[in-house]
Structure 1
């Protein structure tokens, strides 16, 4: 079946899927055309977000010719990712102290890098 996926910021694409296609697989197909990483996509049908682990067949309103909308989520900040992880093990107050100390140390380390260091890191990332 063919689905039309419209980007809320403009642009659209046509995607060919089966009923067994997962929403995550669909996002990966969309990523190629719309240039939004799959992890940052939210697919919306009739005002409801589609869940990555479900299949097209789990959404009976999705039929051939259905129009889905894709919204781009902002990437999670390092602060919020650390805080979310630490909340499993520590209280809110402890999390704040740990995250604040980590970020202070992180910024000190980044500030101490030279331009040569940054260039080496960038080259290593590009080559991998």
Structure 2
């Protein structure tokens, strides 16, 4: 039968046996999302499912049942989304900008570029005198909050290097058992290709049935409109795909 695992911000379906142990379901979740079994709590109608029992020990569970997954794993697979306004300060000017705490340093640079026109590759961002070095870390990981001030330093033109050209990356798309028996699909694309282009490629080649999908890389839901490079995807990485949609406004 098929059940639906519901997390904060998304949900995906999973095929299970009627007598499948609760612990085995948690093992599958750990395999696909990287969340340790001992960090998972599964509930149905506010009743916690116990590791030592099987699905048929719970008469309320049937085909189509939704199980809610909560976790104390850090970092969580999906960070809560919070809109906030911060101040961006240059040496001679400053302005406010709306961001999401799940935005990355790179996406903040992109927003500054849209508002101000400053080339992204010239920017060095700092908060509380500390440089925000990793473009793929979220703003929340740097402690950015409502009304935080981000200082922008500009690199000298002689030090600015062009963005590296696109390159081919080979990845493995791992599907869940509810899609096609946990298949592993090798895919090669440019690292500048967007996630929605990857989805379209898999659909056109009939490697996935027509439906809505969530892609996950290193326990983070991938944004459709951002590139593989933006997500930090490297050669040999696994991208996990589940049937479902992101249910909140942001990623």
- TM bracket, shorter-chain basis: 0.5 to 0.7
Give the structure with the higher percent strand: 2
CA RMSD of aligned residues (A): 1.8
Task: Tell me, yes or no, if the aligned pair for 1:13 and 1:30 is still in contact at 8 Å.
Answer: no
Q: Give the alignment partner of residue 69 of structure 1, picking from 126, 132, 151.
A: 151
1:34 to 2:119 alignment: no
Q: Secondary structure at the match of 2:115?
A: helix
Equivalent positions of 1:51-66 (< 5 A) are: 51=133, 52-60=135-143, 62-66=144-148
Instruction: State the alpha-carbon separation in 1 of the partners of residues 159 and 112 from structure 2.
Output: 24
From 97, 105, 127, the counterpart of 1:15: 97
Residue 48 to residue 77, structure 1, CA distance change in 2 (3 Å): closer
Aligned partner of 1:5 in structure 2 is: 88
Structure with bigger RCO (C-alpha 8 Å, 6+ apart): 1
Corresponding residue pairs, total? 77
> Structure 1 length as normaliser, TM-score?
0.55
Q: What TM-score, normalized by structure 2, do the two folds share?
A: 0.29
Residue number among 106, 110, 124 corresponding to 1:24 in the alignment: 106
What residue is the counterpart of 2:129 in the other structure?
Answer: 47
Q: Which has the higher helix share?
A: 1
Structure 1 position 11, deviation (Å): 1.2
Separation in 2, partners of 1:77, 1:14? 28
Q: Structure 2: where are the runs of 5+ without partners?
A: 1-83, 162-251
Are the structure 2 counterparts of residues 56 and 77 from structure 1 closer, same or farther at C-alpha, using a change threshold of 3 Å? closer
Contact 2:101/2:145 (CA < 8 Å) preserved in 1?
no
In 1: Cα distance, 2:93 partner to 2:154 partner? 13
**How far 1:35 moved relative to its partner?**
2.5
